[in-house]
Structure 1
Amino acid sequence: MRATSGVSSASFQRTSNWKSQMGSSAAARRLVACLLNISEARSRDTVEKVARAAACKQYGRWREGTTVLNIFSDRGYNRSVITIAASLDHIGDPAAVAGEAVLSACEEAFRLIDMRGHTGVHPCLGAVDLVPLYPLGGDVRLEECGTEARALATRLTELIPGTSAFYFGSADVPLHRGLAQRRKEMDWFRKTTDVSCIQPDVGGKPDSRYGLTGVGASPYVMNCNVTINTEDLSIGRKVATALRGSTPGGLPGVQVLALPHEGAVEIACNVESVQGDPPAEHWPSFSVGGAMFYHVPATMISDHIAKLAGKHGVGMVGTVVVGFTPRECRGLAEHAISQGIGEYWRQQHSVRM
């Protein structure tokens, strides 16, 4: 599903929906989210089985304090993002609860997805390609999520022989290297990498069936994909380079790939949260462990890409936010968990690709 122009209205509609659902009496919760990236989108049954594994315990019982908020699948990329959220503030550690849900989802994904037959445009190394844990509340610390990410990777590689992982962010102790740097080191961007030649941080030699998984923790990373009306990938790459936060004049915290997509070019953006006070009032902000973070608004990303593409005589087709903004994710998680809705994603058809 691609919006015809501007930022997808689904994102803004969701914001008003969860505000009305939550009301003013919702109690604050300690919340953790995982935007689980798996290398499968063409089998809807497989993707939904992985999502259900996160929400359900054995014998089909719902996992207390856990919800699957969204599934976002792209057939061309053959990649899905499953948004899992967890809270167990009345007992103890929300990160540990998130770890149990994510571990179950990873087990199911490794059981069902075989990388030896995988095809798709998007770079990837593993059947479970990325396991990022994000704190959603001001009183959940990055260190907690980093510790749980390391424990999760260890348990996963012990549980399923042949699986292996590399750490990033707060799980990468003591260096705390970011995801983009770690992916470069693992040759993730080439997609043709022989994983058996890679030395993982945890687990044995990567098996070609399972590939290699990135496991880590960081402040929330939003995904924003913008389609421009051209098949010329060189134009997309020029736009991506100018947009990156590492480029003078680029947008802070924005990491970008230009990829061929359904007869056009998609500017796929990872929008990292940046520590500090927002540069303007309209920039969204939130607190993690007492520290303030902000991220670039999706509308600003759209506007920048429209201008950059326009310099090459190319128009913009549309923008889609994959999943949710940090505020949306927290609000929906509070609502779904308080209502005991394990498969909240079934109510979110408007945001599925």
Structure 2
Amino acid sequence: MDFPLSFVTSPPHVGSWSAEMKSNSLERRPETEQTAMTSNKLGLRLAACLLNVSEARKKDVVEKIARAALYDKNGKVHPNTTVLNIFSDYDYNRSVITIAATAEQIGESVVSACIEGFASIDLSEHHGIHPCLGAIDLVPIYPLSGVTLDKCGEVARDIAEGMATAIPECSIFLFGHADLQGRKSLAEKRRDLGWFKNKKEIDLNKLKCDVGAKPSWRYGVTGVGASPYVMNCNVTLCTQDLTIGREIATAIRSRTEGGLKGVQAMAFPHNGLVEIACNVESFQDALDSSSTTNVEKHISYNSCSKTFSYMSPLHIEARIRGLAAQQGIDIAGTALIGFSPQVCKSTTEYALSHGIAEFWKTRKGIFM
């Protein structure tokens, strides 16, 4: 069976429950002919949720959450839904479950997964190097095909209300197009809440949420929102010096003068080395045509007759490699976690048209 291809690399320490492809530089791989044939033929309005849960060390728990997005309590299949990927990192103790469905179905599927996650994960017992504030830490809704950002915001608000109804003790903040009052981005809301701090420094009683109960350490605080697609791209440095990693992460952030547009970055000690973890946001603003490397700087795609762009993972890798070289160190590898927006769309179309609900099991090393 042929599947659409993405471009990925991964350093040896990156964990996944499907087999991995490993190399030391990113490779661009074209979509297959089969993908092109299935693309745009379904006529469905599609959206994706990259569900971030605060558990990676119990495979059975994470897979149970994934299956809850696909089946109800009686084992009946949720229609037009697929789980494309499960990525888990032991050191982070964090998993990303890629759920894709029609705009009409994704809300119910995601709420079902969140209910299972809240039942299975106790944030007060969580230990990991990645920041988090919630047992279910992040519920972002991204448009894939035929869905506007405003519609995704509506879906996200419905998800938040559904979560609060099913789990009255949970606490939720809204961001992006789900945040009707301020349209604050995820990063802005996280800074307001102290998400980037050590959990021991946070006083839950002082946190103000948008939906649900006052925060507790059992459930924590969950971010639910909608935005243009966000990828995760991690670059591992051949060093144990976290100070260098933090300097590089600061240099490439979009908030930094001369940083990379749409890129949020943090540095973590990871499996004996240092990893630069990047959120790569899509944006609609005019592009800067200048380029400091021979690598394509931005990649563009269309959604609902609008053009979005994001920083090329190849360019991110090249910028980090250059900054690392100034410190006399190399990079060990780069990992694109999951999918680019284009490949997420085409893979969703493929999985739904072939009735593959548990798509993550069929990947056989093509994806991370």
Deviation at 1:287, TM superposition (A): 2.4
How well do the aligned residues superpose, as a CA RMSD in angstroms? 1.8
2:130 alignment partner, SS class: coil
- Counting only pairs closer than 5 Å after superposition, residues 100-249 of structure 1 correspond to structure 2 as 100-137=108-145, 139-192=146-199, 193-249=202-258
Check the 8 A contact 1:168/1:176 in 2, yes or no: yes
Distance 2:194 2:39 in 1: 48
Which amino acid counterpart does residue 118 of structure 2 have in structure 1?
A: F
Among 251, 259, 282, the residue aligned to 1:250:
259
Which piece of structure 1 moves more, 276-285 or 208-217? 276-285
CA, structure 1 residues 349+76, in 2 after alignment: closer, same or farther (shift >3 Å)?
farther
- Aligned match of 1:60: 75
- Aligned match of 1:83: 98
Distance 2:86 2:367 in 1: 6
- Aligned match of 1:29: 44
Check the 8 A contact 1:56/1:342 in 2, yes or no: no
Check the 8 A contact 2:297/2:315 in 1, yes or no: no
Check the 8 A contact 1:273/1:294 in 2, yes or no: yes
Deviation at 1:52, TM superposition (A): 0.5
CA, structure 1 residues 272+228, in 2 after alignment: closer, same or farther (shift >3 Å)?
same
Among 335, 338, 342, the residue aligned to 2:350:
335
Identify, as 1 or 2, the structure richer in helix: 1
- Aligned match of 1:307: 322
Distance 2:89 2:303 in 1: 31
Among 20, 32, 38, the residue aligned to 2:34:
20
Which amino acid counterpart does residue 232 of structure 2 have in structure 1?
A: N
Aligned residues: 340
Check the 8 A contact 2:321/2:331 in 1, yes or no: yes
2:209 alignment partner, SS class: coil
- Aligned match of 1:275: 284
Deviation at 1:133, TM superposition (A): 0.2
Deviations 1:171-203 (A, max 9, x none): 111311001010000100013123343121111
1:6 alignment partner, SS class: coil
Whether 1:5 aligns to 2:18 is no
Deviations 1:211-246 (A, max 9, x none): 100000000001100000111111011101111112
Which piece of structure 1 moves more, 226-235 or 59-68? 59-68
Distance 2:160 2:364 in 1: 31
Deviation at 1:116, TM superposition (A): 1.1
Distance 1:80 1:110 in 2: 14
Distance 1:16 1:298 in 2: 17
Deviation at 1:282, TM superposition (A): 6.9
1:295 alignment partner, SS class: strand
Q: Which runs of 5+ in 2 are unaligned?
A: 1-12, 15-21, 290-295
Check the 8 A contact 1:273/1:295 in 2, yes or no: yes
Identity %: 48
Which amino acid counterpart does residue 67 of structure 1 have in structure 2?
A: T
Deviation at 1:151, TM superposition (A): 1.4
- Aligned match of 1:295: 310
Deviation at 1:21, TM superposition (A): 4.2
CA, structure 1 residues 352+332, in 2 after alignment: closer, same or farther (shift >3 Å)?
closer
Deviation at 1:26, TM superposition (A): 4.8
Q: Which runs of 5+ in 1 are unaligned?
A: 88-93
Deviations 1:271-314 (A, max 9, x none): 00010455567732122333211001111111110001111111
Which piece of structure 1 moves more, 21-30 or 55-64? 21-30
Deviation at 1:97, TM superposition (A): 1.0
Distance 1:205 1:306 in 2: 44
Distance 1:25 1:243 in 2: 34
Distance 1:320 1:260 in 2: 16
Deviations 1:128-179 (A, max 9, x none): 0000000012x31111111111111112112112101001000111311001
